[in-house]
C-alpha cells in the first residue's frame, strides 16, 4: 500500500513498512529478560517485586504476550538503570 504526502502542492509517494508487532514485543521481552539477568535477578517475580512492578504483568511483558504502553516500558527500563536510548542502543537483536 502506498501513501501520498502533500508538500507545497506536489505529491510524493512513500512506501509503507510492514512489521509484525507481536514479533517486536517478543524481541523487547528478550531484551528485558537479558537486562534483568545482568542485574542478578534469576526470576522475573523477584525483579518485579523489588521494583514495584506488577509481577504477573511483568512476566507477560518478558514473554512478549502482553502489549505495553510506552510509558510502562520507560518505567521498566528506568528501574533497570537504563534510559530508553540505552535499552534500544543495541537495536533489535
**CATH assignment of 20-88, among 1.10.260.40, 1.10.10.410, 3.40.50.800, 1.50.10.20:** 1.10.260.40
**pLDDT score for 71:** 92
**pLDDT score for 10:** 59
**pLDDT score for 67:** 93
Regions in the chain scoring below 70 on pLDDT: 1-12, 91-93
**pLDDT score for 73:** 94
| Sequence-ordered alpha helix ranges (H) in the chain | 21-38, 44-51, 55-63, 70-79, 84-88
3-state secondary structure of 33: helix
* Alpha-carbon dihedral sign for residues 71, 73, 77, 80: positive
Can you give the residue ranges of every domain in the chain?
Answer: 20-88
**pLDDT score for 17:** 83
**pLDDT score for 64:** 94
**pLDDT score for 14:** 77
Amino acid at each position: 500500500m502506498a501513501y501520498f504526502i502533500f508538500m507545497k502542492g506536489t505529491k510524493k509517494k512513500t512506501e509503507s513498512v510492514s512489521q509484525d508487532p507481536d514479533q517486536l514485543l517478543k524481541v523487547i521481552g528478550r531484551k528485558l529478560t537479558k537486562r534483568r539477568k545482568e542485574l542478578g535477578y534469576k526470576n522475573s517475580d523477584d525483579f518485579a517485586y523489588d521494583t514495584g512492578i506488577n509481577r504477573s504483568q511483568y512476566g507477560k511483558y518478558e514473554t512478549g504476550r502482553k502489549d505495553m504502553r510506552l510509558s510502562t516500558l520507560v518505567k521498566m527500563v528506568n528501574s533497570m538503570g537504563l534510559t530508553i536510548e540505552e535499552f534500544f542502543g543495541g537495536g533489535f537483536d
